[in-house]
Structure 1
Amino acid sequence: TVSSQTEESDFESSSKTNDSVEKAEEVKEAKEAEKVEETKEAEKSKEAEKTKEPEEVEKAEVDEESEVDEEAEKVPKSKNIKESQKSASNKLPIFLSVLALACSIYNLSLTRNLTGNNFGNPGQIGRDSNSANFTEGSIASIANAVSKSVVSIVTSTDQKSFFSNETTSQTAAGTGFILSSDGYIATNKHVVSGASKIGVILDDGTAYEDVELVGTDPLNDFAIIKINNVNNLSPVKLGDSKTTSTGQQVVAIGNALGAYQNSVTSGIISGKGRSLTATDSGRTQYETLSDMIQTDAAINGGNSGGPLVNAAGEVIGINTAYASQGNNVGFAIPISSVKGIIKNVLSGKGFERAVIGVRYINLTPTIAKEKNLSVTRGALIASSKNNKAIISGSAGDKAGLKENDIITAVNGTEIGNSGSLSSLIGEYSVGDTVKITVVRGGKTETLELALAAYKQ
């Protein structure tokens, strides 16, 4: 806080006169001079506030990533990134009570008109959607439209007492968004992992207990759940996270702090391609997250799994984590990186992630200079201490990829600002054929391969 003190100036006349007109003029001039001094001080105060240094925020960034669980090289852990999951303080005896309590809290109801789903072919959503800006009243309009498709997720996890055989139920809250009218919902893996029961509460307060876990992403903090026996839900519209840009305006919607359904915050995209290590509030579990969208739209505990939305009302990210020691430093999974899984699930093919089957390092100009490489962006195929660079029998193996090859593009989309190799491949489904651009020995060539399912 910048404090300012207004200086008071005393003005004295050097001579006295009996002429009342001259005295009046002197008083007038003194008042005007005093106003000028006060104006100058106010301007100085404003300038001081503008030049105040922002509080530094630490971020965990790494340059490496793997398409499989073991990364090509070790990624350092950050000490200040928390998963955005808020555990509820009350332990309720039965799950129905949890839902009843949640319904009594989540009573916000808005009028919306957005329906339908937009997948198209990967990469077909144009830049116009992400180049749109908010206008007066548009944030409220978008919030009203999208909130209809945002849900609160309440989970119950059975835990046995350390001192007895008694089992207690630990409840927690998160967020999700509707993918289809028949009940498929996207959320974070950490919101639903290990839950013995899952409940969903719509924006209008309708609660569902007949909910199942469809699957969790082996490479990302992503999961899909399903409300059974419904057919009238309003799905979101999915955008294209590849064409997002730094400075772009966004809105985050979620179950803030596990207590405020469909809270809305706005901000901008602060950065792209961030890598970090997330941990829960107890620092008992760690997970490496890569290629994340960074935003200054406030993301709080309970917002996990909620949508990050562009000015066209399209979901471009899944809110996942926030920096515990930074003001308004949140992170979201790019929606394009999980479109392939979503497409698979909605077409009835099950929860599967498409992969090439290689281990790689994300190139940076620094790494490229150290290794004397001809390109500065791409995925350098590399082995680790205990793992081969090319997984035997994988799509990459069958296509003839070799260690030290550099993959620079997928179907013409360059690796780098548009996303990592894993994110770009994540837009496609198992069985899809893609063309990858490869630099080998300084020469560029194109290989075609059919994507296979990730196998643990």
Structure 2
Amino acid sequence: MNRTKEPIRPIVVAVLAALVLAGCSNGSSSDSSSPANGSPTAPAGAGAAQPGGANQLQSDYQRVIGDVLPSVVQITTASGLGSGIVYDDRGDIVTNAHVVGTATTFTVTLAGSTKPLDAALVASYPESDLAVIRLGSPPDGLKPASFGDSTKVELGQITLAMGSPLGLSSSVTQGIVSATGRTVSEPGSPGSPGAVIGNMVQTSAAINPGNSGGALVNLDSQVIGINTLAATEPQSNGAAAPGIGFAIPASTVTSIADQLIKDGKVTNSGRAALGITARTYFDQNFRPAGAVVVAVAPDGPAASAGLQVGDVITRIGDTAVDSLNSLTTALASLAPGSKVTVAYNRDGQSRTAEVTLGTLETP
């Protein structure tokens, strides 16, 4: 399934999957038997009592849902809806930038409630697809979520995805951590130009339109990521690819959210940069063949390593670069301060430079 706000714009990530944002649903559903009154949708396997370990696992699921679901909200804009996570007891809620889009005011519905609450935009950072909104009158008993340590997320960990898929508020699905460290390119949307995000968590928990901004949770009742993307089959006109979803890691969420709340903007992106402006370079056959440098920041990483305007970057470390997008994707998987070999062409000759990456500056 894909977002209802805009048509599918397939993109390529990792190997075979194309992705669409799991952003906003119009709140409609053809399944008249699905609960939409705020009661949790039980994860698969949480039905009749099972013997032994299955009984314990069911108890663990129910405990985590009881702990975290009260912190997951539904966010409604003029053009659709998404999900969010209560960040603190002052009424700050973190969500995806593509959920808020260009809106500045919102209606928020807490888990287990039907009373709409007014909220306003604090700030948005589309480069990492994150935003913070704030309740105008936070109610008593507001429950902030607990965010976990992204470095401790491991392959095979059980995950629960919580949010409002297709407008079904307080829904829960279950799966595992399928992979970590994915670098994902998102499609653009109003208010979000299409971020390239590194270190994302891949999960098999079902993520559908309306889930964006919701919580991906471990069995310690900690949020380990914000649900953001679901995959589609590239060859099937956008049909869903079941069991492939992506979440922005908790470390990125807390770093960006803290800055948006404190300063109203991001002053430290935590993203690696070369300190250049570039565009896609096309060869004599009009095929993309690299990223040509059009400006170099004085005293920046590239300048310090000797790169110049007109150089055509063809590789970052072990990653081939044939376009500006592939250069951006390669950098998204790296950390500021790391050293990397940059291969480039200058005046028809192949060269390399050792570059210590800087931090991407924010507007």
Note if 1:179 corresponds to 2:87: yes
* Alpha-carbon distance change, 212 to 137 in structure 1, aligned in 2, over 3 angstroms: same
* Alpha-carbon distance change, 218 to 274 in structure 1, aligned in 2, over 3 angstroms: same
* Alpha-carbon distance change, 406 to 140 in structure 1, aligned in 2, over 3 angstroms: same
Alignment identity in percent?
29
Match of 1:350 in 2: 264
CA deviation digits over 1:150-187, x for unaligned, max 9? Answer: 0000111xxxxxxxxxxxxxx41110001100011111
The within-5 A match list for 1:14-413 is 60-61=12-13, 81-88=20-27, 105-108=36-39, 135-156=57-78, 171-195=79-103, 197-205=105-113, 207-230=115-138, 232=140, 233-258=142-167, 260-279=168-187, 287-291=194-198, 292-324=200-232, 325-346=240-261, 348-355=262-269, 358-359=273-274, 384-388=291-295, 391-392=297-298, 396=301, 400=304, 403=307
Q: Does the 8 Å contact 1:88/1:172 carry over to 2?
A: yes
Larger-gyration structure (1/2): 1
Query: Which segments of 5 or more consecutive residues in structure 1 lack a partner in the other structure?
Result: 1-57, 64-76, 91-103, 111-133, 157-170, 361-382, 409-418, 426-433
* Alpha-carbon distance change, 105 to 83 in structure 1, aligned in 2, over 3 angstroms: closer
Q: Does the 8 Å contact 1:175/1:305 carry over to 2?
A: yes
Q: Does the 8 Å contact 2:272/2:331 carry over to 1?
A: no
Aligned equivalents of 1:406, 1:60: Cα separation in 2: 19
* Alpha-carbon distance change, 198 to 393 in structure 1, aligned in 2, over 3 angstroms: farther
SS across alignment from 1:81: strand
Which residue type is aligned with residue 150 of structure 1?
V
* Alpha-carbon distance change, 60 to 234 in structure 1, aligned in 2, over 3 angstroms: same
Q: Does the 8 Å contact 2:108/2:119 carry over to 1?
A: yes
SS across alignment from 1:87: coil
Report deviation, 1:287. 2.6
SS across alignment from 1:302: coil
Report deviation, 1:210. 3.1
* Alpha-carbon distance change, 350 to 82 in structure 1, aligned in 2, over 3 angstroms: closer
Match of 2:44 in 1: none
CA deviation digits over 1:287-316, x for unaligned, max 9? Answer: 354332211101111111101111211111
SS across alignment from 2:66: helix
Aligned equivalents of 2:330, 2:268: Cα separation in 1: 14
Aligned equivalents of 1:402, 1:316: Cα separation in 2: 40
SS across alignment from 1:148: helix
Query: Which segments of 5 or more consecutive residues in structure 2 lack a partner in the other structure?
Result: 1-9, 30-34, 42-55, 233-239, 276-289, 308-312, 319-328, 343-351
| RMSD (CA atoms) | 4.2
Q: Does the 8 Å contact 2:164/2:210 carry over to 1?
A: yes
Aligned equivalents of 2:135, 2:155: Cα separation in 1: 36
Higher strand proportion (structure 1 or 2): 2
Aligned equivalents of 2:138, 2:21: Cα separation in 1: 34
Q: Does the 8 Å contact 2:17/2:231 carry over to 1?
A: no
Aligned equivalents of 2:104, 2:356: Cα separation in 1: 47
* Alpha-carbon distance change, 288 to 341 in structure 1, aligned in 2, over 3 angstroms: closer
Q: Does the 8 Å contact 2:71/2:145 carry over to 1?
A: yes
Report deviation, 1:239. 1.0
Q: Does the 8 Å contact 2:123/2:260 carry over to 1?
A: no
CA deviation digits over 1:62-113, x for unaligned, max 9? Answer: 59xxxxxxxxxxxxx97563534212469xxxxxxxxxxxxx9543389xxx
